[in-house]
Amino acid sequence: MKSFPIAIVLLLLSSIGEIVHAQSGKTREQARPELAEAVSSGSLLSAGESGLMLREIYPHRYPATQAGSGKTRAQLRVETAEAVRQGDVAAGESGLTLREQNPGHYPPTAVLAAQTREQVQAELRAAIRSGDLPAAVESGLTLREQSPQWYTKSRIAQREMAQLQSSMAGKNP
């Protein structure tokens, strides 16, 4: 009688395996080379709950993987020399770059403005009108969220202005 439940369990397990194999869409001949590659490179998961691959547990058993950067040694030397010249190299245990530690010793970096002064001022005026500026409290609310009664008319006026501008744009090709 004990062999009957065991036979049922084995039958169910084999049918599950066949279903999974059928869903993968690969034949055994296609899967064998992939398995052989995974075994030889150690990229199979180890037994247990660690979730590590075999090459992570036993690095001495598998060849080291090459981490090629695609750059020649000369290119890397030029890049390193340029980074040292610009002060973009970390120095010491603080994690700060040489430029951050001694800003006067290195040329300033050019920062390009993403917007013109007029564009920023126009954005600020629009934020003031709509109440999208942060309130002067630590709640993190905007002025519109803190005092919605002040900005209801403003939002209606903005919506009407946008509709008027879109209708004007439609008339003038």
Tens digit of each residue's pLDDT (9 = 90 or more) over 82-95: 988 888 888 777 78
The domain spans of the chain are: 3-61, 73-105, 117-171
Listed in order, strand segments (DSSP E) in the chain are none
User: Are 61 and 55 within 8 A, CB to CB?
Assistant: yes
Q: pLDDT for 102-138, tens place per residue?
A: 888 888 877 777 888 888 888 888 888 888 888 887 7
User: Cβ atoms within 10 A of the Cβ of 130, count?
Assistant: 15
Angstrom distance (rounded) from CA 102 to CA 121: 34
Residue 53 three-state SS: strand
